[in-house]
Structure 1
């Protein structure tokens, strides 16, 4: 099975997971866990290990993390390495909702290798845009 693993600081990863469930329906292949305030690295690793228990050596994993080099992402990759899954894993930082939806759609479409990576990166980048507000003076009074 190909899994999507969401990891973050705070409640971002479970929140992202919740929104994906709402928009795309609950899926067995989406896993999420976050490092909340006051939780140390050891406790985070222990709890994340339990989340990763369903993964087998035959599985593939797409990891979306909030910040490159952050404890949630680095610990997730270390635990995946200990399970022998690092060679079956692609990881990204800077996760956003369009990236996560794009990753799940790419998984559903059976993409792999460079096509998978390119698709996920493009969705994440294209999901970040400036919204140009062009208001007339009269419009500002309506706000």
Structure 2
């Protein structure tokens, strides 16, 4: 099963994981990492690497961050040299729910990443436009 690290500013990662567990139940091989930009960069890098090791069973790790260009994303980009790690930015709750559902389908890391990104994009809507239909 693909491991998952959610890394985001403040407590967002922890809250996203809690909301996901509330909806889908237990989330195995998933960890949340709160990034405080005031902390030492070397410590944060070590925390991220440890989180990846914690959830990695050999099938790869998907790292979800809150936004491209933010500290969590920038710090995880260095991990992309390993082809068993993929980073997705702009994480949202529908992405995490889909991720928990599709990790059990014997898909590769990159197939899971594609599925999650596609679902995340489709979940962003302008409510008034939908209601007009």
Q: Which runs of 5+ in 2 are unaligned?
A: none
- Whose radius of gyration is greater, 1 or 2? 1
Alignment size in residue pairs: 130
Aligned residue runs from structure 1 range 60-99, under 5 A: 60-79=60-79, 81=81, 86-99=82-95
**1:13 is matched with which residue?**
13
SS, match of residue 43 in structure 1: helix
SS, match of residue 63 in structure 1: strand
TM-score (norm 1): 0.75
Q: Which runs of 5+ in 1 are unaligned?
A: 135-143
Cα deviation digits, residues 57-89 of structure 1 (max 9, x gap): 7231111111113221232343575xxxx2112
CA deviation after TM superposition for structure 1 residue 99, in Å: 1.0
For the structure 1 residues 89 and 49, does the alpha-carbon distance in structure 2 shift closer, same or farther, using more than 3 Å as the test? closer
For the structure 1 residues 97 and 58, does the alpha-carbon distance in structure 2 shift closer, same or farther, using more than 3 Å as the test? same
Q: Do structure 1's residue 100 and structure 2's residue 92 form an aligned pair?
A: no
Question: What is the distance in 2 between the residues matched to 1:70 and 1:38?
Answer: 13
Question: What is the distance in 2 between the residues matched to 1:6 and 1:28?
Answer: 13
Contact 1:65/1:92 (<8 A) preserved = yes
Of residues 69-78 and 93-102 in structure 1, the stretch that sits farther from structure 2 once superposed is 69-78
TM-align CA RMSD = 2.5
Higher RCO (C-alpha 8 Å, min separation 6): 2
Aligned residue runs from structure 1 range 1-143, under 5 A: 1-36=1-36, 38-55=38-55, 58-79=58-79, 81=81, 86-112=82-108, 115-132=111-128
CA deviation after TM superposition for structure 1 residue 130, in Å: 0.8
